[in-house]
Amino acid sequence: MSMLARTAARARLHESEFARDVIAGLSARPKWLWAKYFYDDHGSQLFEQITALPEYYPTRTELGILEDRAAEIARFIPTGAALIEFGSGSTAKARIVLRAAAVAAYVPVDISAGFLASEAARLSRDLPNLRILPVAADFTKPFALPAAIRTRPRVGFFPGSTIGNFEPSQAAEFLRHAARLLGAGAHFIVGIDLVKDQRVLEAAYDDAAGVTAAFNLNLLRRINRELGADFDLERFRHKAFFNRPQHRIEMHLESRAAQSVLVCDRVVPFAAGETIHTESSYKYTVESFQALAAQAGWSPAAVWTDPKRYFSLHALRLA
């Protein structure tokens, strides 16, 4: 490649939305990055490993609630409904609902088109009578539902406490956007992780095997690979703690020493001990989540929890 072509290629690399977000976050005080960027291929694999860790209770607890309460959940879903899942990922949770309820159509919405297509194909082999209408979209932005479900009752499905990654004001905005999309009379089933003992919370985000640390540090590896940065992963440390006043787990990457890193041709200085805030995972009480949902027009219809009250599934109705 000529020098000019190389310069032009690098300029394009540095013009992507990812590059813009990384530069903006690392120029801010305190430094921060969007949690959605954890999920490149390797990051998605690491997240799958996290869900199987002994300390990471949310996935296993929510699956338990879905299985134990499948019959009650099915009664909440009108016959012939379309189930619309936001950020469907592996569809393991939807399968439990789809087996129990009289759902006519399943609409998984996910940003990863390839994963979405392969999961839809797998699901249609297992449930040949179910109409599957995948939508490849970023569910945090406006998108259209398939015309084929226009006349069907709509039930939204948003498990995993993914809503916890949003700031509370953004979470309320998302719930309003879901209300507009699903329309009058809609139902919504939302999974929410609950506030609990600090030690249980912190262990879930700082496991003994170091998988969550690898997941957090992988963000720097991704920035190195995709944006040509030179982060030395040995010189950053994973940190996770419960910020009680803000009722959220925070994950950070802490600089072990004073250092400079080159990111998109910019020098980014770090003081020793300075951190990049990489994720917030908000925890709610049953009541605080119901109050948030009410701000967006959703009324509580039912709540299901596990015996330890670690996790909750909320059935909501749009007035």
Kindly tell me which residue out of 61, 91, 162, 312 binds ligand AVJ, with binding defined by CB under 6 A.
162
CA distance 306 to 25: 38
Least distance between ligand AVJ and beta carbon 253 (Å): 13
Residue 50 as a binder of ligand AVJ (CB under 6 A): the answer is yes
CA distance 82 to 151: 9
> Which of these ranges, 119-127, 136-144, 154-162, 257-265, lies near ligand AVJ under the rule CB under 6 A?
154-162
Residue 212 as a binder of ligand AVJ (CB under 6 A): the answer is yes
Q: Where are the beta strands (DSSP E) in 39-194?
A: 81-86, 103-110, 131-132, 135-136, 154-158, 187-193
- C-alpha distance from residue 114 to each of 50, 119, 121, 136, 260 (Å): 22, 9, 11, 9, 37
Residue 58 as a binder of ligand AVJ (CB under 6 A): the answer is yes
Give, as one character, the DSSP assignment of residue 140.
T
Q: Pick the closer one to ligand AVJ by CB: 14 or 93.
A: 93
Residue 91 as a binder of ligand AVJ (CB under 6 A): the answer is no
Least distance between ligand AVJ and beta carbon 9 (Å): 33
What does the block give as tokens for 81?
A: 């409904």
Task: Tell me if residue 268 falls in helix, strand or coil.
Answer: strand
Least distance between ligand AVJ and beta carbon 281 (Å): 3
Least distance between ligand AVJ and beta carbon 132 (Å): 23
Residue 153 as a binder of ligand AVJ (CB under 6 A): the answer is no
Residue 218 as a binder of ligand AVJ (CB under 6 A): the answer is no
Q: Return the closest-CA partner of residue 230 out of 287, 268, 282.
A: 268
Give the length of the chain.
319
Rounded (10°) CA dihedral 8, 13, 16, 19: -130
Kindly tell me which residue out of 134, 159, 164, 168 binds ligand AVJ, with binding defined by CB under 6 A.
164
CA distance 191 to 311: 8
Rounded to a whole number of angstroms, the CA Rg of the chain reads 21
Kindly tell me which residue out of 91, 165, 218, 312 binds ligand AVJ, with binding defined by CB under 6 A.
165
Half-sphere exposure of 280 (CA within 13 A, CB side): 16
> Which of these ranges, 116-124, 135-143, 155-163, 195-203, lies near ligand AVJ under the rule CB under 6 A?
155-163
What does the block give as tokens for 281?
A: 């995972």
Kindly tell me which residue out of 123, 160, 220, 312 binds ligand AVJ, with binding defined by CB under 6 A.
160
Q: Pick the closer one to ligand AVJ by CB: 43 or 153.
A: 43
Burial class (CB in 10 A: 0-12, 13-18, 19+), 221: middle
Kindly tell me which residue out of 255, 281, 290, 312 binds ligand AVJ, with binding defined by CB under 6 A.
281
Q: Pick the closer one to ligand AVJ by CB: 100 or 292.
A: 292
Summarize as ranges the residues that interact with ligand AVJ (CB under 6 A).
50, 58, 160-162, 164-165, 205, 212, 279, 281
